[in-house]
């Protein structure tokens, strides 16, 4: 009796979403997860203390500094960084187990972190989220009202440097409207799931079953 391969989950995709500060990465990620229930947000590990209402394994994987350093030494993180005295990183095991279960994982991360992930996980889908223009990006940052004039200048300078890294990405999506940006990313995911190299293993299994 042949197995019904349609009942076997295909391996999920790792989607790495980057873009300059103020482009709307968090908003787009939240909107994507609301329309795609197969999309899992990557849970980061951190050494900072849990805040009120935060749950281990849901908001973060809370680790001691010693545990986190051990994860680094054992190559258990796709990427990591130290920020304001605490460590943050993406556990490889959570990503691998979720992908193996057939669910797509989205990782919202800065450009430098994305480049580290590419070194360890080249088969991931790298998407750069772009503003409609640099003028619009500056307007969005100013509208937030949380940055000083000096900070805005630094953010815009960083944004220009990050835009020069677009060649490291597979796709560029303009976030002119959140719904439209989500639709473009969903189209990318459909296309990626249909790539020949992702479908071939299933076809090979079919061929083996009829011989």
Q: Classify residue 93: in a domain, yes or no.
A: no
Q: CA angle, 44 as apex, 57 and 23 as ends, to 5°?
A: 130
103 vs 105: CA distance, rounded Å: 6
125 vs 17: CA distance, rounded Å: 9
Q: Classify residue 200: in a domain, yes or no.
A: yes
pLDDT above 90 (res 180): yes
188 vs 32: CA distance, rounded Å: 12
> What residues contact 186, with CB distance under 8 A and at least 6 apart?
32, 35, 36
The confidence band for 1, taking pLDDT boundaries of 50, 70 and 90, is very low
Using the 8-state DSSP alphabet, how is residue 14 labeled? Answer: E
pLDDT above 80 (res 7): no
| Enclosing domain of residue 200 | 5-42+103-209
Looking up residue 113, the CATH number of its domain turns out to be 3.40.50.300
197 vs 46: CA distance, rounded Å: 35
57 alpha carbon, distance to own chain's centre: 17
Q: Classify residue 70: in a domain, yes or no.
A: no
Looking at the structure of the chain, the number of domains it has is 1
How many residues in the chain? Answer: 211
48 alpha carbon, distance to own chain's centre: 21
pLDDT 10s digits, 134-167: 888 888 888 877 778 888 888 888 889 989 999 9
């Amino acid at each position: 009796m042949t197995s019904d391969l349609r009942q076997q989950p295909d391996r999920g995709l790792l989607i790495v979403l980057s873009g300059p500060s103020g482009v709307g990465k968090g908003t787009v990620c939240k909107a994507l997860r609301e329309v795609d229930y197969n999309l899992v947000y990557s849970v980061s590990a951190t050494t900072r203390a849990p805040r009120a209402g935060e749950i281990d394994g849901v908001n973060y994987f809370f680790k001691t500094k010693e545990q986190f350093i051990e994860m680094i030494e054992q190559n258990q993180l796709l990427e990591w960084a130290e920020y304001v005295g605490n460590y943050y990183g993406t556990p490889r095991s959570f990503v691998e187990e979720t992908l193996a279960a057939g669910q797509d994982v989205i990782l919202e991360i800065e450009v430098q972190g994305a480049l580290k992930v590419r070194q360890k996980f080249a088969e991931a889908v790298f998407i750069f989220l772009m503003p409609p223009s640099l003028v619009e990006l500056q307007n969005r940052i100013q509208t937030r009202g949380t940055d000083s004039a000096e900070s805005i200048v630094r953010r815009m300078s960083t944004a220009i440097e990050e835009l020069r890294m677009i060649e490291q990405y597979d796709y560029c999506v303009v976030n002119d409207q959140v719904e439209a940006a989500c639709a473009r990313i969903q189209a990318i995911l459909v296309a990626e799931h249909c790539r020949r190299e992702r479908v071939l293993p299933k076809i090979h299994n079919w061929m083996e079953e009829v011989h």
